[in-house]
Chain A
Amino acid sequence: MLRIHCPLCGERPYTEFRYGGDAGKHRPVHGAGGIEAWHDHLFLFENAKGPHREFWQHVQGCRQWLIAVRDTATNIVADVALARDARGLEPQGPGER
């Protein structure tokens, strides 16, 4: 079974977590960017076969949102960090216009 190493709670089965999808996507800034930016954000997916940065929320543990790097071809999780550390303080990502 897929196991995810929560930085706060340790290694836990994935059933304790809620999946949150691709963390590489950046929401367009409200009001900026045309409808195309929103279309691409909502509906297009990189769908990587290989390393994939993705959100998981530890709903049955510390309830923190995490960002994990999982290889979608093997399900091996290489790295997990708290989402607020990994992403929250980043400057606006390249997808943000």
Chain B
Amino acid sequence: MMRYSLPRLVGHALRDRPWPRAWRKATPRSHYDVVIVGGGGHGLATAYYLAANHGVRRVAVLERSYIGSGNVGRNTTLVRSNYMMNGSTQFFEFSLKLWEGLSQALNFNVMLSQRGQIVLGHSPAQMDGLARRGNTMLLNGIEAELLDRGQVQRLLPYLDYSPAARFPIAGGLLQRRAGTVRHDAVAWGYARAADSLGVDILEGCEVSGFLLDAGGVHGVQTSRGRILADRVALAVAGHSSQLAALAGLRLPIESHLLQAFVTEPIKPFVDHVISFGAELFYLSQSDKGGLVFGGHIDGFNSFTQRGQFPKAQGVAQCALALIPGMSRLKLLRHWAGIQDMTPDGGPFICRTPVRNLYFNGGWCYQGFKATPAVGWCLADTIARDEEHPLVRCYGLERFAQGGASLDEYGHGHWTYRH
């Protein structure tokens, strides 16, 4: 791999030559140690850490479309580690720590911007909840600052503090290390780094079946032929149920649409990531100047990748309740991604009842910020054939065992009410 550096940049500016491809166009081999299905952020990160941390070199990532076509290129790019449920708190903090060193590790600028995230509270009860969340973080060694109304107003002067505000702002919880990451760069950076360690990235390669026998899985059927593998891992985001069904598994997952929205570009004025406390709504400003925001899933399971219009109205109402000054902004684009939703809102990273088949999915809203930790822990789980300690809370059996405790909102077993 050609290392990126300042001298290289200058050298290339002087010579009139295109940059080399960031990763090879590989052709499938007949056999691999590990085949990973799905070339999103999770699959690519897993391949990279398998090679980098465990020395597993004969690894292939099978992507039915092109790299970056899935949710890794569709999300709103927020990263943070202010989760309250035990298990998730530690997992997401581990992920944030990996983000902090990722550009160096990959020799690729993923543009981590630790601009700070503020979760707003609108009532004394909500402030109590935020204090509890902040204390949980502090107990886990994660910095958190509880802000009163005046402190929020100094940081976010453009919110609605008028007496007419529909949801008066009582305060907020600030995590300074939270922020955004350039999502495409994450896919490209992991792909390039994995490729340089010998991982084959096979685009346009759709998995349509598994080669199964009494000993478990020993390969996959693809649109580019049969590929044998000692171990197979699934990281297909919104299509987990479809792939698992090919291996005879039913999952606690339904697929739903989540939409994202971006306005026309304007001068920088939102310096942080803001989460509304009165609804599920979050907003940040991109480097190009567009305000990027999102809200709830559409509310019924679907694979169409086309969102429903009333959601655009819903998020616009949230935006105006929060920042009245946005009322004249035009919406530039909106799009949807297919997302696994689980009964408790938590994901899965685990072995499966099928030997040598490993599963990562059920990522609901929070899979992008988890990307480095997913890769690290799934690679470890595959290499050792045992769940990494940080993901023991993310097993498929947790509902059967009772006491599933990852549910940050307490919605019960419905996937579509999250």
Chain A residues proximal to chain B, CB less than 8 Å:
1-2, 13-15, 19, 21, 35-36, 39-40, 42-47, 49, 52, 54, 72-75
A19 to B298, CA, bound (A): 11
> Chain A residues near B343 (CB, 8 Å)?
42-43
A73 to B301, CA, bound (A): 10
Interface pairs (6), CB distance under 8 Å: A15-B310, A45-B251, A47-B251, A49-B242, A73-B304, A75-B304
> Chain A residues near B255 (CB, 8 Å)?
47, 49, 72
Contacts A43-B413, A47-B251, A73-B303 known; 16 new A-B pairs at CB < 8 A: A1-B308, A2-B308, A14-B308, A42-B413, A43-B252, A43-B343, A43-B399, A43-B400, A45-B250, A45-B253, A46-B250, A47-B241, A54-B300, A72-B301, A72-B304, A73-B304
A2 to B242, CA, bound (A): 24
Chain B residues proximal to chain A, CB less than 8 Å:
239, 241-242, 250-255, 299-304, 306, 308-310, 343, 399-400, 413-416
Q: Count CB-based A-B contacts (< 8 Å).
A: 64
A46 to B415, CA, bound (A): 12
- Closest residue of chain A to B304, judged by CB? A75
A71 to B381, CA, bound (A): 36
> Chain A residues near B304 (CB, 8 Å)?
72-75
> Chain B residues near A75 (CB, 8 Å)?
302, 304, 306
Q: Are B414 and A21 in contact (CB under 8 A)?
A: yes
Q: Which of A13, A36, A43 has the most CB of B within 10 A?
A: A43
Given the known inter-chain contacts A1-B309, A1-B310, A15-B310, please indicate yes or no for A45 contacting B303, CB distance below 8 A: no
> Chain B residues near A52 (CB, 8 Å)?
301
A54 to B415, CA, bound (A): 14
A7 to B299, CA, bound (A): 22
> Chain B residues near A21 (CB, 8 Å)?
414, 416
> Chain A residues near B242 (CB, 8 Å)?
47, 49
Q: Which of B242, B252, B306, B414 has the most CB of A within 10 A?
A: B252
